[in-house]
Chains A and B, each alone.
Chain A
């Protein structure tokens, strides 16, 4: 069974440009999460989808970030326009059930490294 896949693995863009990151969760996982790690610091929560609905987007830094999950399958995270401080590694994770439930184990992708010059 395929794990969580993220694309691209690395993106280098200039300040002001737009980048779209994609996450394909494990098939059947209703819960999808985005996290990011900036400058080797903590991994921080961005948002949580249940199917196509945003359950919690309290971690989204500002309105330059837009996450979607059309049809409740894959998700995209768009940064427009990108700023230098957006550089980091963006992780996607999915789970079958809610965290804490017997089916709530989180499965992470390898991450998408974003470099903004």
Chain B
């Protein structure tokens, strides 16, 4: 079965500190991995994706994610958190057989305190 897991319901970090939101995946074959963010009263917005190539992927708003095949992880990171980064973050993997189908995680609420 294909899936992603986000082990933390909530992550709290102080503004200016680095942040990490964790994601692990389970998929046969090469994974196509995504991160989306949902700000309050907004739809999900695309942050970044990994398809192939460099294990460190850079995305919107200064976020990046590191693909680690041996640990089957795709953690989202940012060197210096902003209060405005507070939102709900979802990791997703694309179905290897049906490219138009995503499997999302349960989401991680990021709280950045001033």
The segment from B17-25, B36-44, B65-73, B78-86 that touches chain A is B36-44
In the complex, what residues of A have CB within 8 A of residue B31's CB? none
- B43: contacting residue among A44, A55, A58, A111, CB under 8 A: A111
In the complex, what residues of A have CB within 8 A of residue B90's CB? 43
In the complex, what residues of B have CB within 8 A of residue A110's CB? 41-43
Q: Is B61 an interface residue (CB 8 A)?
A: no
In the bound complex, CA of A44 to CA of B102 (Å): 8
What is the distance, in angstroms, from A69's C-beta to the closest C-beta of chain B?
15
Q: Is A79 an interface residue (CB 8 A)?
A: no
Interface string of A47-64 (1 = CB under 8 A from B): 010000001101100000
A98-B99, A99-B94, A100-B32 are contacts. A43–B104 as well, Cβ < 8 Å? yes
User: Do A45 and B32 touch across chains, with their CB atoms under 8 A apart?
Assistant: no
In the complex, what residues of B have CB within 8 A of residue A93's CB? 43-44
| Number of B interface residues in the complex (CB < 8 A) | 22
User: Do A108 and B103 touch across chains, with their CB atoms under 8 A apart?
Assistant: no
What is the distance, in angstroms, from B107's C-beta to the closest C-beta of chain A?
7
A31-B100, A99-B100, A100-B32 are contacts. A42–B105 as well, Cβ < 8 Å? yes
In the complex, what residues of B have CB within 8 A of residue A35's CB? 102, 104
In the bound complex, CA of A90 to CA of B94 (Å): 19
In the complex, what residues of A have CB within 8 A of residue B106's CB? 40-42
Q: Is B45 an interface residue (CB 8 A)?
A: yes
User: Do B46 and A105 touch across chains, with their CB atoms under 8 A apart?
Assistant: yes
For the complex with contacts A48-B101, A100-B94, 12 further pairs of A-B residues with Cβ separation under 8 Å are A4-B43, A42-B105, A43-B104, A56-B101, A91-B44, A93-B43, A98-B100, A100-B51, A106-B44, A106-B46, A108-B45, A111-B43
B-side residues, CB < 8 A to A, are 32, 36, 41-46, 51, 90, 92, 94, 98-107
A-side residues, CB < 8 A to B, are 3-4, 31, 33, 35, 37, 40-45, 48, 55-56, 58-59, 91, 93, 98-100, 105-111
